[in-house]
Amino acid sequence: MLAIILSILFFWLVIFILLFYIISFQGKPFFRQKRIGKNCIPFTIFKFRTLSDNTNKPLPERRFPLGDFLRFTNLDELPQLFNILIGNMAFIGPRPFPVEYLSLYSPEHQERHTVRPGITGWAQVNGRHSISWQKKFSLDIYYVKNISLLFDIIILFKTILLILSFKKDYSLSEKKFTGNNDA
């Protein structure tokens, strides 16, 4: 229900962002990628695209001003309301990782897939891209084992504070997950 209300409230913002893509000639506005969902079932995640489509360039060279703004304000995550509406995601839960990581998980890592992935989660409010992969998995598994309405409310408020802090985004410098030995 909350996803429907937020979709209606932010519809104007989505239209405004789409117009900026058209005006700035930045190509396709949406980024779609296969991610791992609940019970390891793949789904397509939707986000506003924050990098150019030119995959021949390194990530930092693919940046453009609108994408930087969307990433900085976390508005690139807005289309994930659609993922919530169709049942692939929740507001709170472990962030869904790309399908290519599935074969690299240990049996303990698999526990994170017993719940629906979320737009935000315990790992996001405790370091996001600045913590190790092992710490992310540890925090995600802690969430899964301690899930409750109160815990979700705490994560929601921490997420709001984090968004309002406008902390620097380190996602472009994050190393890919390569397996169990990632620090």
In a domain, 16, yes or no: yes
- pLDDT, one tens digit per residue, over 51-86 is 887 778 887 788 888 888 888 888 899 999 999 999
> By residue range, what is the domain housing residue 51?
2-173
In a domain, 180, yes or no: no
Task: Specify the 3-state DSSP secondary structure of 51.
Answer: strand
In a domain, 49, yes or no: yes
Q: How is residue 128 annotated by DSSP?
A: G
In a domain, 96, yes or no: yes
Question: pLDDT band for position 40 (50/70/90)?
Answer: very high
Tokens for 35, please give them: 């991610």
Measured between alpha carbons, how far is 143 from 115 in angstroms, rounded to an integer? 10
Measured between alpha carbons, how far is 63 from 80 in angstroms, rounded to an integer? 21
Question: pLDDT band for position 181 (50/70/90)?
Answer: low
Measured between alpha carbons, how far is 67 from 26 in angstroms, rounded to an integer? 9
In a domain, 76, yes or no: yes
User: How many domains, the chain?
Assistant: 1
Report the amino acid identity of residue 168. Answer: K
Question: pLDDT band for position 1 (50/70/90)?
Answer: confident
In a domain, 11, yes or no: yes
In a domain, 148, yes or no: yes
In a domain, 83, yes or no: yes
